[in-house]
Chains A and B, each alone.
Chain A
Amino acid sequence: MLALQAAEQEQHPELEPGEQYIPCAQCHQEVTPELYTEWNASLHGIGMVACYQCHGTFENFRVTPLAQDCAACHADRMDAYSQDQPCWSCHVPHSFKAEGASAHKKEISENEKPAQ
C-alpha cells in the first residue's frame, strides 16, 4: 500500500521512449546538479550504487525510496527501524551522513563493522 501511494504521488515526468534509455545520472548531472554532486561524493557514489537501486527505474520510479530498498544491502539495520522514523530522517538523502542520535536499537560493534 505504501508503495502504491508512493508511486501515485511521485511519478517521474514524462519521457520519450528513447529518453527512457538515458542513464538517470546523465540527465540529473544537469537538472539536479547539487543532488548529483552530493551522491557522487558519497559512499554510494564512489561505490557505484546507482540511482535506480533506490529510486527504481522509469516504470516504478519513486522520489522517496522505500525502507525496503535500503534493506537489500542494509537488512541488519532494519531491526531498529520504525515506521515513523524512516532511514532518511537521519541519513541525509544522497550524502547518507547520519544526523542526530542513532535510532538503531543495536549499535554496530567494531568487529561487526564492514570492512574494518
Chain B
Amino acid sequence: MKQSRRDFLKTSAALSAASYLGVQLPDTVSSALAAEGDSWHRGTCRLCGVGCRVELGVRSGKPFAIRGVADARTNYGFLCMKGMYFWHCIGHTDRLTHPLYRAKKSEAFKQISWDEALDIAATAFADVVKTHGSDAVAYYGSGQCLTEETYLFQKIMRGGLKTNNVEGNPRLCMASAVGGYLSSFGADEPIGGYSDLEKAHCFFIIGSNTAEAHPVLFRRIMRRKLDNPDTVKVINADPRVSQTSRIADKHLQFKPGSDLSLLNAMAKVIIDEKLYDTDFLANYAVFRQGAESTEVTFSEYVKFLEPYTPEAVAKICGGNISADDIREVARWFANSKGTVSLWCMGINQRIQGVWANNLINNLHILTGQLCKEGADSLSLTGQPNACGGVREAGGLCHILPGHRPVDNEKMRNQVEEAWGVPIGRIPAKPGRHTMDMFAAINSGAIRAIWVNCTSPAQSLPNCDLYIKGMEKDDCFIICTDIFPTRTTELANLILPAAFHFEKTGVYGCTERRSQITLKAVDAPGEAKPEVWIVREWAKRLAVKLDDPVIAHCVKDFDNLEEDYALPRAIWDEYTQKLTAGRDSDLRGASYPVLERMADGVQWPALTEEQALTGGTVKKFVKGLDPLADSLSQNDLPYQFYGPAHADRKLWVWLRAQADPSEVPDAEYPFYLSTGRIIDHWHTMSMTGRVPELLRANPYAHVEINPEDAKELGVQPGDMVEIRSRRGSNLLPAKIYEGPMKGMVFAYWHDQEKSRMINRVTKDDYDPGSKEPEFKICAVQIRRVAGPKPIKPFLL
C-alpha cells in the first residue's frame, strides 16, 4: 500500500517519539472479539488489589487482546485502562530476557548463563551467612508476587537460612490495616467483601481515591449511587477533592493528620445521639485503651470522647467542615440499613495508621454495621496479592504462613513440623521490617538482599537516603524483575522473571478471594518463573553451606516442571499443611477447584465441598462461615473466633488525636501528600511502556490549590520546586481545586530523578505497623520558571 507523504511524516514523528522513549508502538487494533483458532485464557488482572477477572486472547502463541467477563463477581466484565493494556508487557521489547551480572556496581552488566547466575546468587548469600551470620541476608518481596513465590522464598529464608529477614512492599501500604483488623476484630482481613457494595446504603470513603486507585470497584459504587440517588449516601472524607468526590453527597475536606479527631467526633455524635447498637455492643464488644490493651467501661469511653465535640473538631479539621456536617455524616453512617467504609493509603500511610484504622472499625462496632448484608469495614488493598501472598503466606518479618506470629513458639513449631525442619530452626525474633532492613543496608548490617518484583529505590520514602546504601559495593543486590527499574540500576545480579500469564499461580485480592492464573504464553528469552529460580538457588545454597536442611526445604519440589506441577506442589504444601486449622483455611481451594471456580474461592474454605460454593462471603456469621459454626461457643449468630482476641470480642479503642511526624512551620509551610493516578501503576516500569498509558500521564505534576497558586504567583504549567528537609523535586504545576489550601499533592510514578517525589517524603513510621507516613510531610513551594517542555522518562 502506497504511503502518502502525510502518512510518512506522521509515522516518522510517532516512531521518533517512540524510539526516543524506548516504547513500542501499539497494535493497530486490540480486538476483544474472538476469531476462529483463538483461545481465551482465564486469569486475574496483574495490577491493583481489586482482582478483576480477565480473559487473555492468544493467537498463534501470542497475546492479542484482553477482555472482562460479565459474570465475574469482582468486576462484572469491566476493566480499567491498566487492565485493558497490561498484557502489552508480555511481548515487550524492553523485557529482561537473560541473567545479567556485574561484580562491582561501577561496572557494566554482562550477560551470563542461568547456571552462572544461580551459582553467583548462592555464593553471594552463602558467603555473607558464613562471614556475617544469617541475619546479614534479607529478602524483600512484593504484593505482586504469586503466593507460591512468596511462600517459597520465605521458606528458604526462615527454614533454610535461619533468618526472619523476610519483608515485602505491602509493609509500605497495608501493614496499618493488618494492625487495625487484628487489634479491632482479632483477625486480619475484611469480614465481608465486594458483594456488600450492591447492598450498601451508605459509603464512607476516607483516605482513598477509589476512582483512580481501584477504578472498577469505584464503578460498582458509582452504579449503586446513581441507581439510588436518594436512598444511598456517599461520604468522601479526604484533604484532597478527587474524582471519587464526584459521586459524594458530602465531601469532608480535613487538614492532613486531623483524621483521628474527625473519626472520634463521628463516634461522639453516635454516642450523644444514641445511634449506637446497644445489643451489638452488649453481645460482642469491649472497650480498651493503651499499650496493655486495658479494658475500660463504656462510661470511660464516653468521657474520653468529651473533647471531640463536632464544633471543636470542625475547627481542628479546618477545610470546609462544619459541626453540622460531622453530625449529618455520623447519622448517615449509623442509621443506614448497611454502611460500608472503604479506605486505603490515606489512612494506612500514617504514623498513626493503626489508630486511624481502629477508629474506622470503632464506628462499625458501635453501630453494628458489621456481619450483615451491605455493611463492612473494608480496607482496600493496593496490590493484587498483598493479601493472598504477603499477609497470608508469611511475607512479612513478623508473620509466618497462615497468619502465625513469629514470636509465638507454638506457631513456629507448627511451621517447623510442617516443613520437616528441626524444631528451633526458625529464629524466635522477628526479622527487620522494611525501613529497618534498608537502614541496615546503610549501616552495613545487611550484606546481601534479594529484591523481588518491586523497586524500593523509587518506592521507599526519603529514598535518597536508602539509595546511598544500595549503591555501595558492600551490599550484594539481586533483583528479579521483568523490566529495568531504579533498583535494577543498583543491582549486582538481575534475573529475568516470567510475567503474569507466562507462569502459573494464585493471587488473593482484597476480599479474601484466591484466584488462579494459568500459564497461557511462553516467557521471552530465558526469563523464568520465580519458583524455579528459588528452588534452583536453594539447591546450590545447600551445597555451598553444606546444610541438608536447606536441601530438604525444596526436596518435595525437585524435578517438577515449573509451569504447573511446581507451583501446584508449593500451593498444596502451603494450603494443606500451613492453612489447616487457621482462620485463612484454604485446604478446599486446590488447583483443580480453583481451575473449576472461575471466580476463585474466599477463605475460610476447609473442604473442596465448601470451596466449590465459592467459600465464605461473610466471616464470623453462622450459616455463612464454616468456622463460625464449628467454633461456636454460644447461641449468638456471630462468633468472633479470630486468633488475636482470646476474649472473642470486638475491641472499641480509645485513640486520641496525635500529630503527624512533620507538620508545616514557618520554614516549610505546606503539607505535601502523594498518590496514584489512574493510568499508572506504582513506579511505572510496566504502564510507562504502554503508549496509551504513558501518553495519558507522561510525567508527574504537583497539584496546587488555586488560592495558594495565586499567592505564590504560580500559573498552570509553571515549573515549581518542592523542597523538604530531605530532598527536592522540580515539577510542572497543575492548578486545581483538589488539594485544600495549604497543601500540595504530587504523583509518585515518575522515574525521572528530579520528579521522584519519594526523594522528598518522610520515612518516619507507625510504631505498631512500621508503615511509613508517605502521606504527610512539610515542604516549601517555589516557582522556578515558566512552563518548559518536559520529556517523559523511562529507564
Which A residues form the contact surface with B (CB < 8 A)?
A: 3-4, 7, 11, 14-15, 17-18, 20-21, 23-24, 43, 46-50, 52-53, 56-60, 66-69, 71-76, 78, 112, 114-116
Contacts and interface: CB of A to CB of B under 8 A. Distances in A.
B631 interface: no
A42 to B, nearest CB: 11
A21 B792 contact: yes
The 5 closest A-B pairs by CB, nearest first: A115-B223, A76-B70, A71-B32, A114-B76, A3-B29
A50 B76 contact: no
A67 B84 CA distance: 15
Interface string B106-127: 0000000000000000000000
A115 B696 contact: no
Contacts of B356: none
Contacts of B32: 68-69, 71-72, 75
Contacts of A57: 26, 691-692, 695-696
B67 A71 contact: yes
B66 A14 contact: no
Contact of A115 (B26, B69, B198, B790): B198
Given A14-B9, A18-B789, A53-B81, A47 B219 contact: yes
B432 interface: no
A116 B29 contact: no
B698 A21 contact: yes
Interface in B1-19: 9-10, 13-14, 16-18
A59 B71 CA distance: 33
Contacts of B84: 53, 72-73
A68 B30 CA distance: 7
Residue of B31, B69, B694 most packed against chain A (CB within 10 A): B31
A72 B695 contact: no
A60 B26 contact: yes
Interface of B: 9-10, 13-14, 16-18, 20, 25-33, 65-71, 76-81, 84, 197-198, 211-212, 215, 218-224, 226-227, 243, 246-247, 678-679, 691-692, 694-699, 789-790, 792
Given A48-B211, A69-B30, 11 more contacts: A3-B29, A20-B14, A23-B697, A52-B692, A60-B26, A68-B30, A68-B33, A69-B32, A115-B76, A115-B224, A115-B227
B778 to A, nearest CB: 30
B77 A76 contact: yes
Given A14-B9, A48-B80, A75 B67 contact: yes
B11 to A, nearest CB: 8
A115 B695 CA distance: 31
B247 A46 contact: yes
A14 B13 CA distance: 9
Given A47-B215, A115-B224, A72 B67 contact: yes
Given A18-B789, A52-B696, A115-B224, A59 B78 contact: no
Contacts of A78: 33
Contacts of B10: 11, 14
A92 B189 CA distance: 42
Name the residue in A48, A53, A71 with the highest tally of chain B Cβ atoms < 10 Å from its Cβ. Answer: A48
A15 B12 CA distance: 12
Contacts of A66: 29, 31
5 contacts: A59-B26, A71-B33, A74-B70, A75-B67, A75-B70
Contacts of A47: 211, 215, 218-219, 222
B14 A112 contact: no
A48 B17 contact: no
B219 A72 contact: no
B222 A43 contact: yes
